[in-house]
Structure 1
Amino acid sequence: MCKFENDVKNNLIKCGITLEKKMRLGAAVSGGADSISLLVSLSSILSELDIPLFVITVNHNIRLAEESDGDANYVEEMCRKLRQDGLKVECDVVKLKKGEVAEVSRQRSGGIEEAARALRYQAFESFIKEKNLDALCLAHNKNDQLETLLMRFLQGSSCDSSGGIKPTRGKFVRPLLNIERCEIEKYLNEKKIAWRTDCTNFETEYFRNKIRLKLVPFLDKEFPGWQKAVLSGGEKSVEDSDAINQMISIILKNHKQCEISLSDFVELPESVKIRVLLKACNDAGETKRIPYAFLKDVINSVSENRKSGCFIKQFSSIKIEVKNGTISVKKLSKSDTDSNFFVIIDEACLKDNCEIELPFVKFDVLQLKALGATSPFCLRSVRIGDQIKSADGKMKNVSDILSDWHVSNEDREKVVVLQELSGSTQPIKCIFACFLGYKDWIVKL
């Protein structure tokens, strides 16, 4: 066993992988140098112990067919050659539908890279369950770690994120994380094994590529030793994060899940408040990134409304509500439509004059009371088929009204309707678009 393979083996053990015959280990392989070195080294290590290796490669189908299909075909061919050499290697190819990544990107309001990663990890999770794997190895290396730490710093990440890539996360393990890319390429060159190169790796419109191709060479030239300092800073952030998370666990131990006493919350340090809210959002089932500015706004509102002690804040599908001395965090379930936001206002909220914050506008409950609104009702986004009563008593499509107002497609997603929730008809009583520069449509309540 060569030094490279011995390092990978030792890293597996450090990640808690017990190399026994009953072990079921997988590897995610893209065709690039990092993952090919992972494939080759793992198959060699496991073959000595007669342990099979289960390989998955994901074709995102977002590049030209000859590139994306070529990568997947290359991984399959590599696995076939390893089997011919007597190694126990299986290979599964997952090919995403054309346009699937773009659609998920649109739904999540994020970039193509983020959407591709989300779908890739979905495929990994399914693969782990299907193959009953003890662990799935990923090919992140030391260079990836450095790039990630630089990215997180430039993005202003908290210490939870600024610690970089973790060696283990659930069933995901990264046995190359302390190995440099030059060592990886040297290993493959010595074995005379080729690898695929993704042409998008050289497109500097991607943030990570900009770090790799522009910032890293500059740091190498002007700041010798920067890598050690950055890695050391990442380790310290992990230690700080662990300490704060331990504190949060103690704080939340005596509270219901996704709830905390308002009096306890206001006494916490600012950084702990942020993490308490973030953990509550995650515990409620929110997987999207929660903006720091939103969490900070909740904290400021707690301070400003401490006397009245009642308000509602919403981001995406997360609703944070303060009332009766308690902060509660809920993930709103979608109705049978694709509504972007949906907040229910009940009797307690009306009584306490809560402030209701939607993604694009705030409502004072006193405003809604003045319109004659009675609970329960909801404020939500416009849906296909929505109708509202016109002056002549007939029903009119909300979409037609927005067309008459020349509301843009972008602004239509921000328009708010007020719908009663009691009774059998549950009519829409108001259309709020004045805050966007259009009109409001108010049915006399």
Structure 2
Amino acid sequence: MKRTNLLSEVKKTVGRYRLLQKNDKVLIALSGGADSVVLLTLLLELKHTFGLSFHLAHLNHCLRGRESDEDAEWTEALAGRLAIPITIEKRNVLEWARREGYSLEEGARKVRYAFLSNAADKVNATKIATGHTLDDQAETVLLRLLRGTGLSGLAAIAPKRGRVIRPLIELTRQEIVGYLRAKGVEYRRDSSNLQLKYPRNRLRLELIPFLKKEFNAKITELLGRYGELAYVDNSYLETVARGAFSTVLILRNVSRIVLDRQKLLLLHPALSRRVIRIAIKEMKGDLRGIKSKHILSSLELLTGKRLELPSGLILTRQYENLVISLTERKCEAFSYGLCVPGTVVLKETGMTLVAEFLDRDFLPKDSKSRSPEEVYFDFDRIHLPLIVRNRRIGDRMHPLGMKGERKLKDILIDDKIPRNERERIPLLVDTEGLLWIIGNRRSERAKITDVTERIVRIRAAADRI
């Protein structure tokens, strides 16, 4: 059935997935293509309904020479006509992808989302809106299916993930282009979308049209629905698996995770496999290079001794425990600035740190209920700037609840952190010294008191977008 009122459909999607709240500041990813232009147009229609404010963001990927530059110029001109501020930056995506060992599509995605996240932090945006459509969903589901993915992979493009929202995810590309033509709205066309050297383009231009003609004219809607069902089921299973992971977890730090083998064996296979996936992702920061066969082999290790996985990951059975660790490697000195609010990704450890202000009403009352991956400080007692780095000679800290300062080396020895792992442990410091051994102990300094006015929460998590 052809839908003519796209605004009404987007309102349904926004309501169904709770994509927007009152007074959201939305960073809109504006490539200049049809999808992003419709996204901008329809969100402007919702401005007064939700009290929204906007900032636009355009990334020049440097993939199409002058054409890419013209896209940037076009988006800047559009932003000017609409009187909406815009952030435009340029990245050599191809060079970055080659250097980091990613495919062009995967590399472009990582660079793009890093850019959007940083841009959102700088303008204090509460949401990042992208123009993904039902066609994008269908293509991603089919592409991953052909590559042999599991349920989590079929849960392709989520309508909402963190602060990233996709209001057009239930609209087809045909509906979007038709809308623009009917309104007489201009948009940019990406010539690389016609190049068959890219797998996604071959699928879009050849395979899906063939499936529509020979098997099912509604294949796009069918695949999109499949992706939606997979997303719902996978979200539930991930929540249950997270709980199961907590029950089998014995130890977690930046260099190893230890799981209780007996408790792991008692889990349903659907959960035990996901627990292993969670542990691997927590350990190495992502699941790149990890296949279903690796997960199954990891479970079989429960009756063996040692298994080596891609990216230098080692799984070892130690008595009744399963230990997941990284091979020993020298970690060079690193240092990153952390703004409040703000986000920083530590490429050396595969960890992301997020700093944000917190209302006292949301501060956990029981200190025992607090995760070791998050800490709370009195912001006005921190001596800025905040830096995240690994250890340096002479590092000392006054651990919370203890008397006086201690050498960092002695603290790590007491906590039984292996010598080869100590260089990788990230530390949060200000100009006065150590505040937090991330994932471990925190300092007595800048703790929350009854007179604290501004609370900052800092969370550590595996690096994922």
Distance, in Å, in 1 between the alignment partners of 2:330 and 2:130 is 34
Cα displacement (A) at 1:205? 1.7
Listed as ranges, the matches of 1:84-123 within 5 Å are: 89-96=84-91, 98=92, 101-123=93-115
Secondary structure of the corresponding residue to residue 259 of structure 1: strand
In structure 2, what is the equivalent of residue 321 of structure 1? 316
1:146 and 2:138 matched: yes
Query: Is the CA contact 1:15–1:175 (under 8 Å) kept in the aligned structure 2?
Result: no
Structure 2 CA distance for partners of 1:70 and 1:268, relative to 1, 3 Å:
same
Matched, 1:223 2:193: no
CA distance in 2, matches of 1:4, 1:319: 50
Q: How far apart in 1 are the matches of 2:61 and 2:47? A: 29
Structure 2 residue 193 is the aligned partner of structure 1 residue 193: no
- Is contact 1:286-1:317 (8 Å) kept? no
The reply to whether residue 253 of structure 1 matches residue 246 of structure 2 is yes
- Percent identical: 25
Tell me the residue number matched to 1:5.
7
TM-score, normalised relative to structure 2: 0.64
Runs of 4+ residues over 6 Å off in structure 1: none
Structure-2 separation of matches of 1:221 and 1:279? 41
| Distance in 2 (alpha carbons) for counterparts of 1:135 and 1:4 | 21
Which of the numbers 317, 330, 334 marks the counterpart of 2:325?
330
State the match for 1:44 in structure 2: 45
Q: Map 1:77-88 to 2 at 5 A.
A: 77-83=77-83
Q: CA deviation at 1:62?
A: 2.2
For the structure 1 residues 283 and 43, does the alpha-carbon distance in structure 2 shift closer, same or farther, using more than 3 Å as the test?
same
Pairs within 5 Å for 1:32-431: 32-46=33-47, 51-64=52-65, 66-83=66-83, 89-96=84-91, 98=92, 101-224=93-216, 225-254=218-247, 255-256=249-250, 257=252, 258-292=257-291, 293-303=293-303, 305=304, 310-331=305-326, 335-336=331-332
Shift, 1:143, TM fit: 0.9
Secondary structure of 2:78's match? Answer: helix
The 1:77–1:377 alpha-carbon spacing in structure 2 relative to 1, beyond 3 Å, is closer
CA–CA distance in structure 2, aligned partners of residues 326 and 300 of structure 1: 13
SS at match of 2:117: helix
Structure with more relative contact order (C-alpha pairs < 8 Å, separation 6 or more):
2
Give the C-alpha shift of residue 112 in structure 1.
1.3
Do 2:301 and 2:307's aligned partners in 1 also have CA atoms closer than 8 Å?
no
Contact 1:24 1:51 in 2 (8 A): yes
Of structures 1 and 2, the larger Rg is shown by: 1
User: Structure 1 unaligned runs (5+)?
Assistant: 84-88, 342-375, 379-445
Contact 2:30 2:75 survives alignment (8 Å): yes
Bigger mean CA offset, 286-295 vs 51-60? 286-295
CA spacing shift, 1:38–1:262, aligned 2, 3 Å = same
TM-score (norm 1): 0.67
In 2, Cα distance between equivalents of 1:48 and 1:377: 57
Is the deviation greater in 106-115 or in 144-153? 106-115
Partner SS for 1:231: helix
| Separation (CA, whole Å) in 2 of partners of 1:209 and 1:44 | 32
What's the CA shift for 1:189?
1.4
Q: Is the 8 A contact 1:281 1:331 kept in 2?
A: no
TM-aligned CA deviation for residue 63 of structure 1:
2.0
- The alpha-carbon distance between structure 1 residues 153 and 95, as it changes in their structure 2 partners (threshold 3 A), is same
Partner Cα distance (1:241, 1:49) in 2: 30
| 2:152 counterpart SS class | coil
Pair 330,126 (structure 1): closer, same or farther in 2 beyond 3 Å:
farther
Give the structure 2 partner of residue 397 of structure 1: none
TM-aligned CA distance change 1:273 to 1:103, over 3 Å = farther
Amino acid at match of 1:297: S
**Hey, what's the Cα distance between the residues in 2 that align with 1:204 and 1:94?**
28
Q: 2 CA distance for matches of 1:11 and 1:236?
A: 15
Q: Could you list the per-position Cα deviations for residues 213-240 of structure 1 after superposition, in whole angstroms to 9, with x for gaps in the alignment?
A: 1111001111223334333433443344
- Contact kept? 1:311, 1:323, Cα under 8 Å: no
- Quote how far apart the aligned CAs of 1:49 are: 6.1
> 1: CA distance between counterparts of 2:80 and 2:120?
21
- Whether contact under 8 Å (2:242, 2:275) holds in the other structure is no
CA gap of 1:106–1:220, structure 2 versus 1, over 3 A, is: same
* Cα contact 2:138–2:227 (8 A) shared by 1: no
Q: Which runs of 5+ in 2 are unaligned?
A: 335-347, 349-417, 421-465
Q: How many residues align?
A: 327
1:175 is displaced (CA, Å) by: 0.2
Match of 2:443 in 1: none
